[in-house]
Structure 1
């Protein structure tokens, strides 16, 4: 008798079901406590059980090595001590504009120099230069050289007229009294000879630029001192010097 395919498939399925059921029934039962914990370790796990990171062991060894300090120098030099000077700082000389504050002999010699310079003849200065051992000191003068010839040698022109113009300019400024109470005491024009260029007021800078150029001032500031022409007259009225430089 022929069995239909539908019936054959039903029987096969029933047989497989019975076989599976009988297999599960024979497996032993386990309590919940017997199931192993497969939860991954948490971050709170003790570090004692953790393996050291690569290089960590070397860091620990290096930290445990004592550091030997560098030896002190064989020669110990004492720290320099600041030396306080007992000498008080020299205050700048007083700038004087009132010519009446100078002694009468000084005023008289100044006026004579101005009158001679106005003539345009530099030889007019020679009688005022006190010929002899105490002759007026002028720049670039040899022992045997005439002072007027020496002034012509430093003038921008052969007749020395530039020197006369410089004399009029500097004698029109204020003046200072330098080296008071000494053999070198003198009333000096212009007053820049006794005052630091760094202390000049704007008004005083204008007066300086009436005598020299801005380029000259820049060069003077490098040295900090006025280094152009100056005139010195002693308290007794002797024309002491007409010099140039510091």
Structure 2
């Protein structure tokens, strides 16, 4: 349904944070782009340190990258999960709220779900000092943000992974391609991947070495942690 739009968005994923910041701050975000150019956001979201929140109060993220899986050799590939009923109730609730907001076609319906301060959803590299809804509208391929809503919906309809269970970094992440090596996908899993990206995008990501299209995460207590693309 969204393949042609997704392909166009994917080709813009490697825009640097510096060039984004240079475009100005009319939406109040460090990596906003003004005018007609609508590149997808960079997504190198810092990994919280022990006891830290995902984002500092001043809008500057801590060091690390919570949007990339641990690639150490000894780290096992997590199970691919589909059973939504097995999710903690707060996670189920947030997922449903996000999907309902996406289906509504009105990007403003995401506003109450984003949070504020240290609990604000991360959507790009660097601090988010302005309006995150305007940022999402800017990076969408259309003027009203419906493409981004469609992407979010398709991401949340995919299988997911449960990461760092029992730790302070515990997360539920959609889609599972985030943590499953692309070269190990089964034929059926590739069909699921092609609901999000084109075959050409898949080959580019294989060359890069990881899934770098949109992904999103919810914490066990139901906070929407990030929604990002890129690496």
Alpha-carbon offset, residue 141 of structure 1? 6.5
Q: Name the SS for the 1:240 alignment partner.
A: strand
Match of 2:142 in 1: 157
The question of whether the paired residues in 2 share the 8 Å contact of 1:140 and 1:150 is answered with no
For the residue of structure 2 that corresponds to 1:245, the secondary structure is: coil
Unaligned runs of 5+ in 2: 1-71
User: Mind listing any 5+ residue stretches in structure 1 that lack a counterpart?
Assistant: 1-86
The question of 1:137 aligning with 2:110 is answered no
Number of residue pairs the alignment of both structures matches? 160
Tell me the C-alpha RMSD between the 2 structures: 1.6
**Alpha-carbon distance in structure 2 between the residues aligned to 1:202 and 1:124:** 36
* Partner of residue 228 from structure 1, selected from 172, 197, 213: 213
Per-residue deviation, 1:158: 1.7
By relative contact order (CA 8 Å, sep 6+), the higher-ranking structure is 2
Alignment counterpart, residue 99 of structure 2, candidates 96, 110, 114: 114
Cα pair 1:105 1:235 within 8 Å, conserved: yes
Deviates more, 1:134-143 or 1:206-215: 134-143
Q: Which protein is richer in helix relative to its size?
A: 1
| Secondary structure in structure 1 of the residue aligned to 2:117 | coil
Where 1:133 maps in the other structure, the secondary structure is helix
Q: Does the 8 Å contact 1:220/1:227 carry over to 2?
A: yes
* More displaced stretch, 113-122 vs 139-148: 139-148
Note the C-alpha offset of 1:180: 2.5
Partner in structure 2 of residue 60 of structure 1: none
Take 2:73 and 2:138, find their aligned partners in 1: how far apart are those partners?
42
1:197 aligns with 2:182: yes
TM-score, L = length of structure 2: 0.66
For residues 217 and 166 of structure 2, what CA distance do their matches in structure 1 show?
A: 15
Runs of 4+ with deviation above 4 angstroms: none
1:73-128 deviation per Cα after TM superposition (whole angstroms, max 9, x unaligned) = xxxxxxxxxxxxxx972210110011111111100100000111111000100101
Shift of 1:188: 0.4
1:178 aligns with 2:194: no
Tell me by how many angstroms 1:144 deviates: 2.0
